């Protein structure tokens, strides 16, 4: 009996260290990255640059939070970039002062454009959610189809041309400041807070983890698995619509080619943040840190004069490395 306890003690002693790395490893990695970049460039920790990093991270952060809901249920959403473009151009067409690019009778009040952009995202997410949940089509296939369809609808709706001259009220969601904080950052914080509450303090959040952990057991316990899967794609679509409007407001015009490859950054932020592609494991705080890691990395490499091509390579390595760690963790536990 004593021999068994002696042999087991090293495992127990190592367990807390392993748990600490598992729980807080992403935060430690983020701090190390910040310290390294701070020593590499004197301008990195300036107030202006920090504000710029947060501003650049805001859109990907919003998309990544929506992606987290989907991946927690063992899904994936490849359509977010195209939905960003479609939502942005539809909303912009309602608030442009251009007589050729706008909708007849415009420009309309800002709330109308905001509702329209969100509605476009919700409809796209609902279509994907129904295909995945009701017809059991793999999420990869369903969202790949929406990626192509939404991009095509963007080009059809705008005639392949940008929508310029947006009203100041609409542009405020991308350019205004509140107490010195950029509005996109405030929107990201609000989206994060609401999402954190949903996932950690509501029955809906518990159901999401249950469906991702074991959908068969969740269905047996009375959870409407199809409804949960539908709702997470609706959330992802709605946040894609919001991100599309923020992007159009920031740039001052809606571009038909907007949002290309945005889904890759969103997935990268979620995976780097520790959410398992196998579903059921992950935290919204990890996703936020993952988005910040990507934003800080891109900004720091820009300050050091490193070309964007190398940034793509490094991002790919980070994604593969994060997935490998996730697979090892699943095999261990």
Paired sense of beta strands 181-182 and 177-178, if any: antiparallel
> What's the whole-model pTM score?
0.91
Dihedral (Cα; 259, 261, 267, 268), 10-degree rounding: -120
pLDDT, tens digit only, all 333 positions of the chain: 444 433 444 444 455 666 666 677 788 889 998 999 999 888 899 999 999 999 999 999 999 999 999 999 999 999 999 999 999 999 999 999 988 888 888 899 999 999 999 999 999 999 999 999 999 999 999 999 999 999 999 999 999 999 999 999 999 999 999 988 999 999 999 999 999 999 999 999 999 999 999 999 999 999 999 999 999 999 999 999 999 999 999 999 999 999 999 999 999 999 999 899 899 999 999 999 999 999 998 898 888 888 778 878 887 887 787 777 766 666 655
Q: Residue 319 half-sphere exposure, CB side, CA atoms within 13 Å?
A: 17
- Selection from 260, 264, 258, 256 nearest residue 311 by Cα: 264
Which residues in 273-309 are b (16+ Cβ under 10 Å) and which e? bbbbbebbbbbbbbbbbbbbbbbbbbbbbeeeeeeee
Residue 3 token pair: 């021999």
Please report the domains of the chain, with CATH numbers, ordered by start residue.
Answer: 45-332 (1.10.3470)
Q: Euclidean distance between the first and final Cα of the chain, in Å?
A: 25
């Amino acid at each position: 009996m004593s021999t068994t306890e002696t042999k087991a003690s090293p495992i127990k002693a190592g367990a807390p260290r392993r748990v600490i790395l598992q729980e807080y490893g992403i935060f430690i990695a983020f701090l190390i990255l910040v310290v390294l970049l701070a020593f590499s460039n004197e301008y990195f920790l300036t107030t202006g640059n920090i504000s710029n990093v947060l501003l650049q991270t805001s859109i990907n952060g919003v998309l990544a939070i929506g992606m987290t809901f989907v991946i927690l249920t063992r899904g994936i959403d490849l359509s977010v970039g195209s939905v960003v473009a479609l939502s942005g151009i539809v909303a912009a067409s309602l608030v442009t002062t251009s007589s050729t690019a706008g909708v007849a009778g415009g420009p309309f009040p800002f709330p109308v454009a905001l509702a329209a952009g969100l509605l476009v995202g919700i409809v796209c997410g609902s279509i994907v959610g129904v295909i995945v949940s009701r017809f059991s089509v793999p999420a990869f296939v369903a969202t790949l189809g929406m990626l192509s369809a939404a991009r095509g609808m963007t080009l059809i709706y705008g005639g392949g041309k940008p929508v310029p001259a947006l009203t100041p009220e609409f542009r405020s969601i991308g350019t205004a400041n509140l107490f010195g904080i950029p509005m996109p950052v405030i929107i990201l914080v609000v989206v994060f807070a609401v999402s954190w509450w949903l996932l950690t303090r509501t029955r809906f959040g518990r159901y999401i983890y249950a469906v991702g952990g074991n959908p068969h057991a969740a269905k047996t316990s009375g959870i409407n698995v199809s409804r949960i899967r539908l709702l997470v794609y609706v959330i992802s679509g709605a946040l894609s619509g919001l991100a599309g409007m923020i992007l159009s407001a920031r740039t001052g015009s809606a571009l038909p080619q907007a949002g290309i490859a945005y889904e890759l950054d969103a997935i990268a932020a979620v995976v780097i943040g520790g959410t398992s592609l196998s579903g059921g494991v992950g935290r919204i705080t990890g996703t936020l840190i993952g988005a910040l890691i990507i934003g800080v990395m891109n900004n720091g490499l820009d300050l050091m004069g490193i070309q964007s091509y190398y940034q793509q390579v490094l991002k790919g390595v980070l994604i593969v490395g994060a997935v490998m760690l996730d697979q090892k963790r699943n095999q261990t536990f």
